[in-house]
Structure 1
């Protein structure tokens, strides 16, 4: 990544270089001033020393001047060192014993401390302002991305500057536009599919009604012919299957097209379950199967009655199709503070392990149950309805204990 392309990073680098340059200039000025002060301290010290010597030995005035202005020899330095060391004037002497050195040290410590604090504050303020602007921009991006995830596809990330963040904003905007186009295309495709299925279904209803009528006429014309009666029974069963398939296809098409809006009202789930179970009483009685509904207390829930009734009816119908004479079907209702669970269980043949992950796929028919009735979309329809209510369906099955479908409905649904 080229940092110089990013305007914000470039601005930060320029500010830091400017601060460091100003610090370097300030350091040079300080060093120059320190050198001048040190020179003045040395001259003042020499003045005091010359004054002391001239007061003691006025006859040596010319020699005293020469001592400060003439070139110094190495032997002279060593002789002076030996002389002063006898009085304790050595390099390791404590600086506090020398007032001039002590004062010079204090003034330099103060200046250096002030310089360090100013430089540190300038660098900190520069970096802090840059990071604050950067993270404010990132927070804004994050907020807008969350809005996009929640469905506000028209949301855009506005960034007119150059650099990495602007490229990120442009990429997100491009992705959002692509998603919006895809969603619109998918919506049109679903509406088109719904219209096609609706038209085809309406076109099929007329010949199906005619076939049903012809079957009834043929049954009345040949009441004693067992072979014809058997074929007519089979024909009526297949016609019923076709009519059920068409009805379910229409419902599924409406759900897929996303044009269904649930009418959520407060209902007693016990009544909806009993209504769904009642619609299968005659069939189960003929097939010698039992259906029991268990609910310890009355449960109220905000739902769309017709669609939830459709989902539960499909689960009970699925249980009826995969059980044999003498089997039992049970529907139970439980309530917790966060969930409502409706369980449809049976002690039938169970679901083969190879099918357990595919049973909710539309038109899926197991190779192990080809002799069973059904259209292959009942469970798909039930799952779609439950998901529209914000819930989900789980399934457990075993060849020994049968199958158990559990509808999980969240208590967070609001009217």
Structure 2
């Protein structure tokens, strides 16, 4: 306690006041001086005991904070009586719990980052390996027709790698929170046309029958460019699932609570164990025929939820997969 300058000042001031009181008591009578001295000693002793106890409790709190700074696994803050130290104790407890939660979250993010980097490396290695095998064959191939086939396969691999890197860059920007979505009125039929435009030729090549049912005048609020990409990713998934001569249905409904856009395909649907993880990053499903990189649907969810909407996926009662996008009014 004596290391505290304020306590030393108070002790000196109290000693001077006590001496003055005892001196004034002697001026009155010896009994008054003894009484003043007794009161001063009693008050000083009580103050000393009370202050020492407060310093002990503060020292214990300081020790707890030091253990927090050194990542102690278990901390127990004692209950204090009502008063200033009780409030301080409560606030430090809240701070400790918050720091512990943040540390746990950082550990999880670090683990997820390591897993994501491993997945990215694996996803990039696959087309690179394939391209590395094709290029020697292309160099040694004497037939022009076969060279064209190999060149087309190499080009497709490069396109897939470009899409993968672009999608990963978009995901990293969304994760970092540096994307500012523009909010404006969007006509749903215009949004669907923009999302379908890059897929019309693949749909025609695979004989996909397309049915679109969107009432006129239905609008929602959001970023047109990002939302069209999210819907396009869902349509790509449905295109792959429907297969040759399949069917894709797009419908829109509007009510006072929300605007809903549904996309359904005529494919095999999802396995029950895949449903909870369809929108997880790099998840490609348990089925042996699962293709893709497991990025499109993850990016789709990040775009839609980032603008206040929601997206779900499931199996339609009549067969096939169905995606539902909702934006509240």
Shared fold by TM > 0.5?
A: yes
SS of equivalent residue, structure 1 residue 280 = helix
Name the Cα RMSD after superposition.
3.5
Of 378, 392, 396 in structure 1, the residue corresponding to residue 310 of structure 2 is 392
Which deviations, in whole Å up to 9, do the C-alpha atoms of 1:202-258 show, x marking residues without a partner?
xx9xxx9xx8xx98xx79x98963333332332222222111111111111111112
Contact 2:188/2:214 (<8 A) preserved: no
1:227 corresponds in structure 2 to: 146
Q: Is the 8 A contact 1:241 1:374 kept in 2?
A: no
1:381 correspondence with 2:303:
no
User: What's the TM-score, normalizing by structure 2?
Assistant: 0.61
Alignment of structure 1 residues 111-260 onto 2, 5 Å: 161-163=84-86, 165-176=87-98, 225-260=144-179
Match of residue 267 from structure 2: 348
State yes or no: 1:284 paired with 2:207. Answer: no
Q: Is the 8 A contact 1:241 1:375 kept in 2?
A: no
In structure 1, distance between residues paired with 2:201 and 2:157: 19
Aligned equivalent of 2:228: 309
In 2: Cα distance, 1:264 partner to 1:170 partner: 41
Q: Distance in 2 between matches of 1:402 and 1:169?
A: 54
Counterpart of 1:279 in 2: which secondary structure? helix
SS at match of 1:301: strand
TM-score between both structures, scaled by the size of structure 1: 0.49
**1:376-412 residue CA offsets vs partner (Å, 9 max, x unmatched):** 110001011111112211212159610000011111x
The answer to whether the 8 A contact 1:350-1:399 is kept is no
Distance between the aligned counterparts of 1:312 and 1:392, measured in 2? 12
Partners of 1:315 and 1:168 lie apart in 2 by 49
1:106-125: per-residue Cα shift (whole Å, max 9, x none)? xxxxxxxxxxxxxxxxxxxx
Q: Is contact 2:262–2:325 with CA below 8 Å preserved after alignment?
A: yes
The aligned residue for residue 337 of structure 1 is 256
Unaligned runs of 5+ in 2: 1-81
For the Cα contact (< 8 Å) 2:284–2:291, is it kept in 1? no
**Number of the residue aligned with 1:368:** 287
Deviation at 1:179, TM superposition (A): 5.8
- Is the CA contact 1:274–1:293 (under 8 Å) kept in the aligned structure 2? no
2:188 — aligned with what?
A: 269
1:321 positional shift: 1.3
SS in 2 for 1:175: helix
Tell me how many residue pairs correspond in the alignment.
Answer: 233
Offset of residue 170 of structure 1:
2.4
> Structure 1: which 4+ aligned runs deviate by more than 6 Å?
180-183
Higher alpha-carbon Rg: 1
* Residue 281 to residue 167, structure 1, CA distance change in 2 (3 Å): same
Q: Does the C-alpha gap of structure 1 residues 255 and 234 become closer, same or farther in structure 2, counting only changes over 3 Å?
A: same
Return the offset for 1:168. Answer: 2.4
Unaligned segments of structure 1, at least 5 residues: 1-158
Give, in angstroms, the shift of residue 353 of structure 1. 1.8
